[in-house]
Structure 1
Amino acid sequence: MNIVASTVVFTVDDLAGSRHFFTTYLGFREVLDTPDFTWLGRDDAAADILLRRRDLERPRERAAQPVVAFAVTDLAREHARLMTEGAPITEQLRRNPWGEWLTRLTDPNGIVVELTEWIAPGGHPGVG
């Protein structure tokens, strides 16, 4: 098996809200937009995202909060940009003892986006 692409699928109530979140704050672009779903992509190694409108005739299932994680470079700069743009940051930039810097945003449908940068112990985001 040779995997050539990846797509993360989220079922959401507010399709426009999630589309705006991912295109405004995380640099995704619309590949295809229909009344029932939106396919978003980037030109780097990020997985594509498919936002699917929830079937309103089915009862809403309680599920774990969906999370998509992206490893990025220069997280400190990205965090500052997101703060300036008023992004819905739900966890401020912090350093974990195992060498990871992390921040989280949450879109209008509860999708958590985790941005991480792996660094040498004792280092700072954006530095090795």
Structure 2
Amino acid sequence: MNVIASTVSLSVDDMAACSRFFGTHLGFREVVSGDGFVWLGRDDAAVDLVVRQRDLEQPPRSRRTDMVVSFTVVGIDAEHDRLRREGANITTPLRQEPWGEWRLCLTDPNGVVVQLAEWIPPAGA
């Protein structure tokens, strides 16, 4: 198998809010849009996102999601500061995990959790 691209599909109640969130805070741009979907991409190695309108005829679901979209970044301190200035909904503040990963989470208006992570070995490691 030779994978040449990856896409994550998110079904949300408010496509426009999700698209704005990923564009404003994470640098995604609209690649294609159509009836009931918008395809978001970046010019780096980030996975593409297809944001789809949740089927409104289905019973409402909890706003909570078990899906986490995770991006490994460089300069997580600066990203944290920028996101705070922009007023992003940071739901897990920047912290270092015992294994050396620095991470923070933010959540879009639909409950999609986005994790930003950077590997910085602990002192003495």
Is the TM value for this pair above 0.5?
A: yes
The answer to whether the 8 A contact 1:65-1:110 is kept is no
Which letter does structure 2 place at the counterpart of 1:92?
P
- Structure 1 unaligned regions, length at least 5: 124-128
1:61 Cα deviation after fit: 4.7
Contact 1:11–1:52 (CA<8 Å) still a contact in 2? yes
Q: Which runs of 5+ in 2 are unaligned?
A: none
- Give the distance between the partners of 2:88 and 2:65, measured in 1 at CA: 23
The aligned length equals: 123
Give the partner amino acid of 2:50: L
Answer yes or no: is the 8 Å Cα contact 1:15–1:37 preserved in 2. yes
List aligned pairs for 1:70-89, cutoff 5 A. 70-89=71-90
TM-score by length of 1: 0.91
CA distance in 2, matches of 1:122, 1:28: 34
1:66: how far off?
Answer: 1.7
Spell out the pairing of 1:1-128 with structure 2 (5 A cutoff): 1-61=1-61, 64-122=65-123
Counterpart amino acid of residue 55 in structure 2: D
Q: Distance in 2 between matches of 1:73 and 1:102?
A: 11
Provide the rounded CA distance (Å) in 1 between the counterparts of 2:31 and 2:115.
Answer: 23
TM-score (norm 2): 0.93
Superposed structure 1 runs of 4+ greater than 3 Å apart: 60-64
Aligned 8 A contact 1:66 1:110 in 2: no
Structure 2 residue matching 1:115: 3-state secondary structure: strand
Amino acid corresponding to residue 107 of structure 1 in structure 2:
D
- AA in 2 matched with 1:108: P
Letter in 2 for 1:32: V
Q: Secondary structure, in 3 states, of the residue corresponding to 2:38? A: strand
Q: Deviations over 1:51-77 (max 9, x none)?
A: 000111122355742210000000000
